[in-house]
């Protein structure tokens, strides 16, 4: 009962105050809101400092960090890529019987099937050129590119380089947003890294990209080749920004809003991001774009020699002290290798100071070489070390 009386009393007092305020106005005049006078030592209203500083406005400004600005600048040019591709499937005609006898006796059946693939990409030119990973569009029969604003275009492959794991696509449209490419040689370990793309795009109903943030964890990472993988992942950018399935081909961005890499793959045990993501340095992308713009294609390099690995048995038969390196099995007539003096039987132990132990390391040693580059080959000939400079040329059409 006492509680009810108190509430009623407060209501009456409130009504009385309201009546008093209205009576301060002359008859016929509109009521004027009256602010209570603030004593000099009274606490100012929340959100306003004694010097007139607006805390709410300051917080709003502080929310617009460099990361927010970078994401807003690059985001409109990050696209979703939907691919229809073909692949060859090998299956036993006696499935589910997997006994080796049936496989050897009847052989395997091969057939071609269509598969769908999703990835990301980024527009790098106002003329509609899009960069993505080669593995996103490999064997594609149809490619659809969707902008964040919902516009969808058919895309064609301008150039695709499996060893670089990069592809350039072309779409036709007006007012297409594009990004600024940075300089991957100026990246600093520990600086902000922003991964933008369309992870798990098949689960989402719109094409707006997802933003994840981390740092540049390491530079110049060489990732060992997996069986059957042609791409060479050398001098990669490592980041702990979350990269998930569907992010492949999207940009890695710095705090200035510049693209510093193209997200390629992750190392994971679970299938999801574990903080071990890798991106292709953007300077490699710029080189590919320059080649295509100048020559209409990526020029293939030519040295003009074939090599084979040195087995312990081969090393013994040739009187070699070790089986490290690769041995030259053929030198093409008129090739850069022949002109510089390399001959069949030379054992290559290093290229440009990079140790060569086997075929794979030899391939990685010359990876990224460009037409006109000079490569220093260190070889063993007749038990003696020798050095030869080979100028890389464009591969003949044949």
**Contact between 52 and 61 (Cβ < 8 Å):** no
* pLDDT, mean over the chain: 83
Task: Kindly compute the dihedral angle of the four CA atoms of residues 244, 249, 255, 256, in this order, to the nearest 10 degrees.
Answer: -170
Mean pLDDT highest for which of 109-113, 159-163, 223-227, 265-269?
159-163
pLDDT score, position 145:
95
User: What percent of the chain clears pLDDT 70, i.e. is strictly above it?
Assistant: 78
pLDDT score, position 109:
65
Where do the domains of the chain lie?
80-170, 184-295, 301-394
pLDDT score, position 4:
39
CA distance 360 to 362: 5
Instruction: For the sheet with 109-123, list strands across it.
Output: 152-154, 140-146, 78-91, 109-123, 129-132, 166-170, 156-161
Q: What is the pLDDT of residues 150-180, one digit of tens each?
A: 999 999 999 999 999 999 999 999 999 999 9
Helix (H) or strand (E) holding 9: helix 2-23
| Tally of CB atoms within 10 A around 302 | 16
Query: 90-94, 134-138, 162-166, 197-201: which has the minimum mean pLDDT?
Result: 90-94
Helix (H) or strand (E) holding 347: strand 347-351
pLDDT score, position 13:
37
Fold (topology level) of 301-394? Pdz3 Domain (2.30.42)
pLDDT score, position 2:
43
20 pLDDT exceeds 70? no
pLDDT band at 279 (very low <50, low <70, confident <90, very high): very high
Tokens 């390399």 -> residue: 342
Q: State the average pLDDT over residues 124-138.
A: 96
pLDDT score, position 35:
43
pLDDT score, position 64:
86
285 pLDDT exceeds 60? yes
| Neighbouring C-alpha atoms within 13 Å toward the C-beta of 154 | 3
16 pLDDT exceeds 80? no
33 pLDDT exceeds 50? no
203 pLDDT exceeds 80? no
17 pLDDT exceeds 50? no
Q: What tokens appear for 243 in the block?
A: 């990269």
CA distance 129 to 123: 6
Q: Which residues are catalytic?
A: 135, 165, 248
CA distance 164 to 232: 6
For strands 129-132 and 166-170, give the pairing.
Answer: antiparallel
Q: Is 145 helix (H, G, I), strand (E, B) or coil?
A: strand
Q: Where are the beta strands (DSSP E) in 181-324?
A: 192-197, 210-221, 236-239, 251-253, 259-266, 277-281, 301-302, 305-309
User: What percent of the chain clears pLDDT 90, i.e. is strictly above it?
Assistant: 62
pLDDT score, position 111:
66
User: Do the domains 80-170 and 184-295 sit in the same CATH topology, yes or no?
Assistant: yes
pLDDT band at 221 (very low <50, low <70, confident <90, very high): very high
Residue 347 dihedral angles phi and psi, to the nearest 5°: -105, 115
19 pLDDT exceeds 50? no
Q: State the average pLDDT over residues 335-358.
A: 95
pLDDT score, position 341:
96
State whether CATH 3.40.50.620 applies to domain 184-295.
no
CATH, domain range 80-170: 2.40.10.10
By residue count, the chain amounts to 398
Q: What is the pLDDT of residues 287-327, one digit of tens each?
A: 999 999 999 999 999 999 999 999 888 888 878 877 789 99
């Amino acid at each position: 009962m006492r509680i009810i009386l108190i509430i009623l009393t407060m209501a009456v007092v409130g009504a009385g105050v309201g009546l008093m305020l209205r009576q301060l106005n002359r008859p016929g005049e509109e009521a004027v809101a009256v602010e209570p006078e603030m004593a000099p030592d009274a606490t100012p209203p929340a959100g306003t400092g004694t010097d007139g500083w607006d805390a709410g406005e300051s917080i709003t400004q502080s929310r617009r960090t460099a990361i927010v600005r970078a994401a807003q600048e690059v985001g409109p040019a990050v696209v979703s890529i939907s691919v229809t591709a073909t692949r060859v499937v090998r299956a036993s005609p006696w499935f589910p019987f997997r006994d080796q006898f049936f496989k050897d006796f009847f052989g395997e059946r091969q057939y071609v099937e269509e598969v769908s693939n999703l990835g990301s990409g980024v527009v790098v030119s106002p003329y509609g050129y899009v960069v993505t990973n080669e593995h996103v569009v490999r064997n594609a029969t149809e490619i659809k590119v969707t902008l964040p604003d919902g516009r969808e275009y058919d895309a064609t492959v301008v150039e695709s380089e499996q060893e670089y794991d990069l592809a350039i696509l072309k779409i036709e449209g007006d007012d297409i947003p594009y990004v600024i490419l940075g300089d991957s040689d100026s990246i600093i370990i520990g600086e902000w890294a922003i991964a933008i793309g369309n992870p798990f795009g098949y689960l989402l109903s719109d094409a707006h990209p997802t933003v994840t943030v981390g740092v540049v964890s390491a530079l110049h990472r060489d990732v060992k080749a997996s069986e059957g993988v042609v791409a060479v992942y050398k001098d990669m950018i490592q980041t702990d920004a979350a990269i998930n399935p569907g992010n492949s081909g999207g940009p890695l961005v710095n705090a200035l809003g510049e693209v510093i890499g193209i997200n390629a793959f992750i190392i994971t045990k679970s299938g999801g991001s574990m903080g071990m993501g890798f991106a292709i340095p953007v300077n490699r992308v710029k080189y590919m774009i320059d080649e295509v713009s100048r020559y209409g294609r990526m020029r293939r390099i030519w040295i003009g020699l074939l090599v084979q690995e040195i087995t312990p048995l081969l090393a013994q038969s040739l009187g070699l002290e070790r089986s490290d390196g690769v041995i030259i099995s053929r030198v093409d007539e008129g090739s850069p290798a022949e002109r510089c003096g390399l001959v069949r039987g030379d054992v290559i132990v290093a290229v440009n100071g990079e140790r060569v132990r086997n075929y794979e390391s030899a391939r990685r040693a010359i990876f990224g070489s460009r037409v006109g580059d000079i490569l220093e080959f260190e070889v063993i000939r007749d038990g003696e070390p020798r050095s030869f400079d080979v100028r890389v040329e464009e591969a003949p059409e044949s």
